[in-house]
Every structure is written in structure tokens, then in C-alpha cells.
Amino acid sequence: MIHPIPQVQGIVETCINVSNVGRARDFYESVFGLGVLVGDDRFCAFRVGKDVLLLFLRGASDKPVALPGGSIPPHETAGAGHFAFAVSPETLSAWRTRLRDRGIEIESEVRWERSGFSIYFRDPDNNLVELATPGIWANY
């Protein structure tokens, strides 16, 4: 049975590694006027319209992060990266079916405190791909 392809609605997050979070934060704030959603010495999340740009200190995201709603898989981007596609909550079941039908293992699922939901899996190059519903960030 061939299942229809659920629609991807956009990219929610883009993640890059940096060698100095403070310097990178200053650059993105001053050059692009991006607003910080949250950050510390390990990372910084910027609001980019409805999207989020994540800066991670190189070597600081190589272990899972446990949250009350699930676990974020490691996603150090030295070579491989991470990004999220925006999807509607109504398509999650169809996405699970599509991934299963293609032999793609779901690595993790997270229910976020704002009511959003994420499904994580890897592409052939080991990049962490996320399908994210609204409610994972203040702006999505």
C-alpha cells in the first residue's frame, strides 16, 4: 500500500556549532538584530521570524538532554547537523507511518511543556531531523 506524503510546512530550527557562544551571540545580535529566546554559556537560541537559529558551543551538545517530556538526542554538528521541519499535529500519525514504511527508525519523541511535539530521526548522513508541531517555542 502506498501512503500519501504528509505535507512539510517549513523549517522550525537551524542549528550550528560555534567556538565561543558569547562572541557568536554578539555577532548575530549586532549584525542581524536577532532577539534571544534563551541562552547560557552552552547555547543561544535566536528568534528569526517564526523560526529559531540555535548556536551551540562546539562539543557541548554531544550527549542526550533529559527533559520532563522526553529526551533530546545528541546533535553535535561537527559534520552532521540538525534542523526541524514544521508539521501540523494532525499529520504525526501519517509521518510515523511514512518513516516506518521507509525503514527509518524514530530515535526519540518529545512532548513539550507548551504542548508541542517532536519526532526525531536521522538522515543517511547521520544528521538529526525533527518533525515539530506548533508549541515547542514561544514563537512556534
CATH of the domain at 58: 3.10.180.10
Judge whether 138 lies within some domain: no
Judge whether 4 lies within some domain: no
pLDDT tens column, 78-133: 666 788 889 999 999 999 998 998 899 999 999 999 999 999 988 877 778 899 99
Full domain range(s) for residue 45 = 10-132
pTM (two decimals): 0.66
Rounded to whole angstroms, how far apart are CA atoms 140 and 15?
16
pLDDT tens column, 19-76: 889 988 987 787 667 899 999 988 999 998 889 989 888 888 888 888 899 998 887 7
Predicted local distance difference test score (pLDDT) of residue 78: 62
Q: Say how many domains are in the chain.
A: 1
Judge whether 95 lies within some domain: yes
| 3-state DSSP of the chain | CCCCCCCCCEEEEEEEEECCHHHHHHHHHHHHCCEEEEECCCEEEEEECCEEEEEEECCCCCCCEEECCEEECCCCCCCCCEEEEECCHHHHHHHHHHHHHCCCCEEEEEECCCCCEEEEEECCCCCEEEEECCCCCCCC
Judge whether 25 lies within some domain: yes
Judge whether 88 lies within some domain: yes
